Structure 1
Amino acid sequence: MKTKIQVSCDGKMKGRSRGVPARYVFAAVAMLGMFFNMLTNCFPPVALPAMVRRNTSDISEKDTVDVCIFGQAGQNSSSEVKTGKFDWDEVMQSYVMTAACFGLVPSMIVAGRLVEIWSPKLLVAVSTVMGVLFTMLFPVFAKWDVNALIVTQFVSGLLMGAPIPAINAMISSWFPPEERQKLAGITLSAMNLGVIAANGITGKMVDSMDWQFAFYIIPSSLLAWMLLWHLCVYDTPQKHPRISQEELAYLATSNVKDQFQTKSVLPWKQMLTSPPIWAHVTMAIAPSWVFNTYVNNLPTYMVDVLHYSTTQTGYLLAIPQLFFWMSAISFGFISQWVKTSHFMGHLLSYHIFNGIATLGSAACLAAVPLVGCSEVAILVLLVAAMACSGAYMGGSKLNHMDLAINYSGTLSGVQAAFDISGAVLAPIVNGLVTNHQQTLTAWGRVFYISAAVNVFFFAVYLIFGSVEEQPWNRSVIRQDHEDKGKVNQASTVNVMELYK
């Protein structure tokens, strides 16, 4: 590919590329990053049934009406499932699986602010490398002491909070409004492809090898992605050495995050007292609760209640995630079309898509206990629930860019913190409900709780949600004169006028 070099107004050399637009390269690399991050974060729960000692000796003493008889679902005896040596009950298992999430909650908020004042590219690199190293230490600490393992996982969470808020903040800089919903949908939905891969790869790996190998092999893929991130991604279009002048001008004249303004004061008081902000960030808990019930708890449900093998469990749980991925992309495109065609109001579209995501998945999950041990009906309902949940990507997922785009890093970090709160609470609550009770009744409560959480947070957004820009988005900004001079003369629009 030939590249013509020009001198820009700041005296620096700029590449005029005739190849793939730089924003699409960023989208592709970020998508791979979301994939490998979720692959690394979501494989441990699939390996968990092979790590802990399973006790099924008391099943014959229980009311057989409240359990699935061996072979009734999955056609596999529980004896075919690998069992480990760790005596962790359901509550302890939930602590092990969510310890990193406890660290992620404050980490996401801090990282959300850091990406606005530091390099998001560098922050992602440091966070990722540290996270991979701690993940590889999981088998070592698991064999030593479970309490040490929990502490180690918590520390790893503190170190791994950067990628999601950083990439969300970079989306506001790289994707113009007319492409933002669909490109963000493609990029962020790759997280579910990572979950699909985690289910399929880990189940097969655990059944064919020792579970420890998963903790060494899978995180290594994230280190390989880091090389691509380092070579191809830049914090902003203005810092990209090979972006074309046309694309730079196009992004400069679009309503992207203003890279030539810096915040002298972060308006925490206004943020904390804004009902639309609270409605937006708490809405993230609903799909997160469903997602993390699938990732952290359903492997145990499939093995201990429906009696599938670890490999079968991995493959079967990958199916709902596949439908979520297709749904998220589809609803992202639909939402973008609705916005650009003015087919319906912006807020109304958020309400509709959020309603599909929450009320649709709630109805499907509430129906699971009603079908008993019918594995086909259960799988259909789980698939339908995840397909509905994917509509959130077309709903208010990116609402912070409507409310306060200049603080998209901070707000995406806060939103991610609430998302992680769902990741923390769902496994713990589900673990308490099913502790020493691997029965249909106990798991029925799990599905009913998930449904109730979705209905509640949809109601909150329905009442308080908004798409109106918040007045404090521009009120405490000072001009950065040094960066202002970097606006390319190829643009015929004064970028600063867009924010007056």
Structure 2
Amino acid sequence: MSTMVEAEATVGGIVNDGTLNTAQVQTSKKGFCSVRHGLALIVHLCNFSISTQQMNMSIAMPAMVSNTALPSPANASTERPPTDSQHNWNETLSEFKAMAAMYNWSPEIQGIILSSVNYGSFLAPIPSSYLAEMFGTKYLSGAGMFITSVLTLFTPLAADTGVIFLIALRIIQGIIQVMLLTGQYSIWPRWAPPLERSHLIAIAASGSVLGSFIILLVGGQLCQTVGWPYVFYIFGGIGCVCSFLWFALIYDDPMNHPFISTSEKEYIVCSLAQEDSPPGWTPPIKAMIKSLPLWSILIFHFSDSWLYFVMMSYLPTYISSVLQANIRDSGMLSALPLVSICICIVPGGLLADFLLSRKILRLNTIRKLFTAIGVLLPCVFFTSLFWVRSSFSATVALLILFAAAKSLTQSGAFVNFMDIAPRYSVLLRGLSQIFCYIAGAISPTVSGFFISQDSEFGWRNVFLLSAAVNIAGLVFYLIFGRAEVQDWAKSRQSPTSEQTE
């Protein structure tokens, strides 16, 4: 696989002074018509498919379980959706019984099933980071996309066979999905110019948000009309199509792409050469362990993912049990917050790049400001849900505001590892994924325990604990976070000096 060092030699003459002339910049900056933006769009579509496969169990769970409707609190919602929800709920349960099997899973078992996709995920990031650097992400991620999509097609069969088989399938699926989400980051050190990094990654990452939005929007409708197994059949099939697109259109670096223009190729290579941090795999482990800026990013990934996985796993159940909405409505209502993320995430990345390119704010300030706003406001909105549960419209409004503000973290701490160590971005992405999925394995299980112990105050405890964990991670990040390339991540002349750090 070509490296950026080889690419610099291939372009010839243009990288020697490490600068770009005006003509090169103007001819290579083609906005959203450039090959690099097209690449971000393909990654966006594949992230869309991965997200639907991660979320399909959350939306199908109320339809799969015969006792999902938890006892309503004494002062539960008095303002209802503009439908005859309880009547529709009873009709829905009857329809499910006729169309697909239902299972007598307790809230604890449901929490384990929802968490199981993350149980083995922390084992995959580091190996997948290494494999992506060794063999390239084109074939590694393409094969993983196809395999996880096929496993999605077999999910209904696994549920019929037994809960152990279902949990095992979800664990395997989670490991493969982590390989996809980690390996794709080997693309950006070779494709994303530093001044475009925030919005290119935001475009790719927004696919996950769009996937969550679509599965929540149509998943409940599919469950109610044709049966919950089709949630897995349809989105598993879409994943297979995305895997073929990945094989056909993704290339590991600009030098191997058959359709990229010479001017764009030169612009990308020269921009990355100025960073003096070509991709590499031999990391200075001791220096990384001692790096507080790195630990601030990893801890923030854990704390933010705790709240994210609680929301994504339990939002449909919360809406159906507390607000007494039927399965179809709960899915559609759960999708509304993701609309605001889809609207805000890419402009947030563009705003971050604008503030940086115009030198309005320092990069370190941008990362911390976006992260702080993306944590503090959502925590206020999230914890307020328990106290406005009697109002349907207020609950929906808070969820939308929560998601809109949360999208800013994508241009903050979530892209920060590309700032401190771009040459080790895949490895650091893998490390951050470990912390994300440890949180994902713990938080839904803990939430299921709280809810099963107390159907009323359990939700309050879930909201407060999630906000507390998220704010604790933010405080650590604000104190120790940095946005400049760290000494241990810079390119050096002597390989031995790097290994002995």
In the superposition, the TM-score normalised over structure 1's length comes to 0.86
CA apart distance, 1:163 = 1.9
Alignment partner, residue 49 of structure 1 = 62
Taking a change above 3 Å as real, the CA distance of residues 445 and 81 of structure 1, as seen in their structure-2 partners, is: farther
CA contact (8 A) 1:73 1:307 kept: no
CA apart distance, 1:476 = 6.8
**Aligned match of 1:79 in 85, 90, 112?**
90
Alignment partner, residue 411 of structure 1 = 428
For 1:452, give the aligned amino acid.
A
Matched, 1:331 2:348: yes
User: Residue by residue, what CA displacement relative to the aligned partner does 1:95-130 show, whole Å, maximum 9, x if unpaired?
Assistant: 112212122222123212322222111110111111
CA apart distance, 1:468 = 2.4
**Aligned match of 2:440 in 423, 427, 435?**
423
Q: Provide the identity percentage.
A: 24
Any unmatched runs of 5+ in structure 1? Answer: 1-7, 480-500
Q: In 2, Cα distance between the equivalents of 1:127 and 1:342? A: 40
For 1:76, give the aligned amino acid.
S
Taking a change above 3 Å as real, the CA distance of residues 73 and 109 of structure 1, as seen in their structure-2 partners, is: farther
User: Residue by residue, what CA displacement relative to the aligned partner does 1:361-384 show, whole Å, maximum 9, x if unpaired?
Assistant: 011112112223211111111111
Matched, 1:25 2:38: yes
User: Residue by residue, what CA displacement relative to the aligned partner does 1:376-417 show, whole Å, maximum 9, x if unpaired?
Assistant: 111111111111111102212211111111101101111122
Alignment partner, residue 279 of structure 1 = 296
Q: In 2, Cα distance between the equivalents of 1:394 and 1:404? A: 16
Matched, 1:255 2:272: yes
Q: In 2, Cα distance between the equivalents of 1:104 and 1:190? A: 20
Alignment partner, residue 463 of structure 2 = 447
Taking a change above 3 Å as real, the CA distance of residues 250 and 286 of structure 1, as seen in their structure-2 partners, is: same
Taking a change above 3 Å as real, the CA distance of residues 98 and 326 of structure 1, as seen in their structure-2 partners, is: same
Alignment partner, residue 172 of structure 2 = 155
Taking a change above 3 Å as real, the CA distance of residues 47 and 242 of structure 1, as seen in their structure-2 partners, is: same
CA apart distance, 1:74 = 6.4
Residue 117 of structure 2: SS of its match in structure 1?
Answer: helix
CA contact (8 A) 1:292 1:427 kept: yes
Matched, 1:370 2:409: no
Q: In 2, Cα distance between the equivalents of 1:428 and 1:469? A: 37
Taking a change above 3 Å as real, the CA distance of residues 136 and 72 of structure 1, as seen in their structure-2 partners, is: closer
How many residue pairs match? The answer is 464
Q: Which shows bigger deviation, 386-395 or 84-93?
A: 84-93
Taking a change above 3 Å as real, the CA distance of residues 258 and 470 of structure 1, as seen in their structure-2 partners, is: closer
Taking a change above 3 Å as real, the CA distance of residues 386 and 243 of structure 1, as seen in their structure-2 partners, is: same
Q: CA RMSD in A?
A: 2.8
**Aligned match of 1:215 in 232, 247, 252?**
232
CA contact (8 A) 1:169 1:408 kept: yes
CA contact (8 A) 1:172 1:256 kept: no
CA apart distance, 1:211 = 1.0
For 2:484, give the aligned amino acid.
E
Residue 101 of structure 1: SS of its match in structure 2?
Answer: coil
In the superposition, the TM-score normalised over structure 2's length comes to 0.86
CA contact (8 A) 2:355 2:361 kept: yes
Q: In 1, Cα distance between the equivalents of 2:400 and 2:493? A: 46
CA contact (8 A) 2:371 2:413 kept: yes
Taking a change above 3 Å as real, the CA distance of residues 438 and 446 of structure 1, as seen in their structure-2 partners, is: same
Taking a change above 3 Å as real, the CA distance of residues 476 and 270 of structure 1, as seen in their structure-2 partners, is: farther
Alignment partner, residue 21 of structure 2 = none
CA apart distance, 1:258 = 8.5
Matched, 1:36 2:53: no
Matched, 1:465 2:487: no
CA contact (8 A) 1:72 1:373 kept: no
